[in-house]
Every structure is written in structure tokens, then in C-alpha cells.
Amino acid sequence: MPRPKTKEDLIKASDENYKALLNMIDEMSEKELNTPFDFSGQPNKKEAHWKRDKNVRDILIHLYEWHMLLLNFPKNNAKVKDKKTATAFLPVEYSWKTYGDMNMMFWRRHQKTSLESARVLFASSHAAVMKLIKKYSDEELFTKAYFPWTGNASLGSFCISNTSSHYDWAMKKIKAHKKNCKK
């Protein structure tokens, strides 16, 4: 699916990938759900997330926590009139160079969260993100630097990264896990 360029496309891609992700999870066998993710024998899977996430819960919590970042972004910047006073997308203790550490913090925070609770959190945050997206116009979502707090990016690019693209990432990871379970 091409990268969304309109609000309508963003909503459609987000909803389609959300439903596809949930369907993929629902169709997992007990073995696939209960076998810990292990990509250690696959040298092409070098990124930290291949080692971090050990199960479906970890993936759903990761998506949930990034949804929360997205939901807080406009809220934290509601009264901002210029870049200088804007609150960054990431928490102040992290940067785009260290966000892997933030992801590990999210992972540690939820090690006692059940899969069912993770599903509820993810469903709730997805619904809230979709409601947020629907509040904005095409121009507000897809004009770069429309809001001073998005820097040189568009709000839509943050939305895409935290919905349709992120769901696609999750599905690829689950698909790779399911393939490993067949070996």
C-alpha cells in the first residue's frame, strides 16, 4: 500500500492494517502464541527490536506506548505558537538517537502486563488515535511545518509512522515468528 497522502488514505490504511494485524494475531496457533520470539539465528535481523520483543504482548505494548506519544504530542503543544516553546514528540530524556533506550523502558514497564490487557490498551489507544486524526483537515495533517511544534515534518507523517506503517512493521515481525515456529 502506498504511503498515505490524504486524511482519507491515512484513515483507510490505518484501519486496514489494524484489522489485518488483529486478524493475524487471532489466527495464531497456541504454539505460535506461546513460543517466545527468537530471531538469534537470523543475522539479517540486526535491529534492536528483533532481540527486544519476545511475544505478541511486547509488540502490542510497543504500539500502545507509541500511540500514547502521538496522542500527547498535540495535547502538549496546544498553546504553542513557535518552535522554541514546543514540547518534543519524544520524552525529554530521549532523542531520535536514543529512542531505542525508550523502547526498552516501555518493554520493561510492561513485563507484567498480560496479553489480554495489552490487547485492550492497544484497541483503546488505536481508537483514540483515529479520533485524533479525524479532528484534523488534510491541510493540517499533510502540510509540512503547518504546526510549529512538528518542526519541518507534517503531523500526518507522525500519524502514519504510529499507525499504518507501525502496524505493517508488527505484522512483518509476527509473520517472521510464525515462519520460525514451522521450522
Confirm if 149 and 87 have CB atoms less than 8 A apart. Answer: yes
User: For the chain, what is the mean pLDDT?
Assistant: 96
Query: What's the confidence (pLDDT) of residue 183?
Result: 78
Confirm if 37 and 55 have CB atoms less than 8 A apart. Answer: yes
Confirm if 137 and 8 have CB atoms less than 8 A apart. Answer: no
Instruction: Please tell me the CATH code under which domain 7-182 is placed.
Output: 1.20.120.450
Report the distance separating Cα 120 and Cα 98, nearest Å: 28
Place of cell 498553546: 79
Flag whether the pTM goes above 0.95: yes
> Count of H helices and E strands in the chain?
9, 0
pLDDT tens digit string along 44-82?
999 999 999 999 999 999 999 999 999 999 999 999 988
pLDDT tens digit string along 104-153?
999 999 999 999 999 999 999 999 999 999 999 999 999 999 999 999 99
Place of cell 486496514: 16
Q: Is the pLDDT of residue 1 over 80?
A: no
Please give the grid coordinates belonging to residue 166. Answer: 507501525
Please give the grid coordinates belonging to residue 90. Answer: 519524544
Distance of CA 141 to the CA centre of its chain: 18
Question: How confident is the model over 25-40, as a mean pLDDT?
Answer: 96
Query: What's the confidence (pLDDT) of residue 82?
Result: 87
What confidence tier does 2 reach under pLDDT thresholds 50, 70, 90? Answer: confident
Helix (H, G, I), strand (E, B) or coil at 78: coil
Query: What's the confidence (pLDDT) of residue 19?
Result: 98
Q: What percent of the chain clears pLDDT 90, i.e. is strictly above it?
A: 94
Q: Which residue has the higher pLDDT, 99 or 1?
A: 99
Report the distance separating Cα 103 and Cα 106, nearest Å: 5
Please give the grid coordinates belonging to residue 58. Answer: 511486547
Q: What percent of the chain clears pLDDT 70, i.e. is strictly above it?
A: 100
Domain definitions of the chain by residue range: 7-182
Of 26, 22, 45, 61, give the one whose Cα is nearest residue 180: 45
